[in-house]
Amino acid sequence: MAHEQEPERLQKVLSRIGLASRREAEQWIRDGRLTVNGRIATLGDKVTGHDHLQLDGRPIRQPPPRQLPALLCHRSPGMPLLPVADGTQSLAARVPASAGKRFSSISPMPQIDGGLELLCADGALAARLQRAVRAQQVEFSIRVRGELSDSQQAGILAGQLDSGIKLPIQSVTASGGEGSNRWYLLVALGVSGNDLRQLLERQGVTSSRLLRTRLGSLQLERSLARGRWRELTDEETAALLNPAVAAADATPAIATGGAVPGRRGSRR
């Protein structure tokens, strides 16, 4: 997918393509040796691959930037998403280097929780996705001890946090379970896992499992095993970046076969 390229400082571009260090490139700029589209470059200039660069009158060829994919991951509760200091293997460490070396997480769930996660090694794309998912509908599957009382459900729907922030909770419905473990399906708009945990604690809810099962038009598929990932398609990335498209496609797909946490019939 040809993502829109964000402008970069000229010295950073020259360093990235291996022509000079940033310090050397800055000196070239001060000495007037570099031009951008025929104009003498100045410190602070930002360029893209569409700009024509020259050093001492000779064209500088910019190789096209390698487009790194965004990844949809199924993270097990407790598994670190990104590398941690204690050396515990993270989900990102399992991803082949061809997908990138330094990942950004998009609205990550708390480590104690799990489910659908997004990783991206393209910094510009990751920033755009982070902004975009704040307007996306999110679905969580929650396992709680016992049944939620009417007052607890009403408090969750009210969405009020101790900080005064009000979360846009759209629905909370029972979705299965038996005995002391009951599953509920919660749908909200742009709510993070951390915010949801605070809301549940405020209502005195004991939650033993919190999984994100949908983010915008992205569904956590039964075919994607825990600890695994897949690349987002161009269409999926475009839908996340365009909230209008994502909202139109946000109806969960009807799955067949097997049990999904939080659905009727799940005994986990």
81 lies in the same domain as 42: no
Percentage of the chain lying above the pLDDT 90 cut = 65
**142, 182 contact by CB (below 8 A):** no
120 lies in the same domain as 95: yes
53 lies in the same domain as 122: no
The pTM assigned to this predicted structure is 0.70
Residue type, position 247, single letter: A
DSSP string covering 194-235:
HHHHHHHHHTT--EEEEEEEEETTEE--TTS-TT-EEEPPHH
pLDDT of residue 101: 72
Tell me how far apart the terminal alpha carbons of the chain are, to the nearest angstrom: 38
Residue 54: CATH number of its domain: 3.10.290.10
Q: Is residue 190 part of a domain?
A: yes
User: In the structure, what pLDDT confidence band is assigned to residue 27 with cuts at 50, 70 and 90?
Assistant: very high
Q: Is residue 229 part of a domain?
A: yes
**What is the spatial distance between Cα 77 and Cα 73, in angstroms, rounded to a whole number?**
12
Tens of pLDDT, residue by residue over 191-245, are 999 999 999 999 999 999 999 999 999 999 999 999 999 999 989 999 999 866 5
Residue 101 domain boundaries:
70-248
Q: Is residue 107 part of a domain?
A: yes
51 lies in the same domain as 169: no
pLDDT of residue 243: 62
**What is the spatial distance between Cα 90 and Cα 81, in angstroms, rounded to a whole number?**
5
Tens of pLDDT, residue by residue over 131-160, are 999 999 999 999 999 999 999 999 999 999
Whether residue 18 is predicted with pLDDT greater than 90 in this model: the reply is no
